[in-house]
Structure 1
Amino acid sequence: MKNLFYFLIVALIALSLTSCEANMETYNNFIGDWHLVRINANGEYRLPIPNADTCFNLHFFKNNSMIGESVSSTFSSVYNIKKKNKIEFSGFNYIPVSDDSTDNVVFMEDILKVDSYMLQADTLKFYCNKKAYLLFVRR
Structure 2
Amino acid sequence: MDEREAQLIQLRAEKESLVRKYNELEAKQNQVLEELENKTKENQILHATKEQDDRALAELVGHNNQRQKVSYIEKMRLENYNLKRRIMELEKEVLNYQNVFDKARKDSKSGGPATRSRTRGSRENDY
Q: Which has the higher helix share?
A: 2
What TM-score do you get using the length of structure 2 for normalisation?
Answer: 0.31
Larger relative CO (CA 8 A, sep 6+): 1 or 2?
A: 2
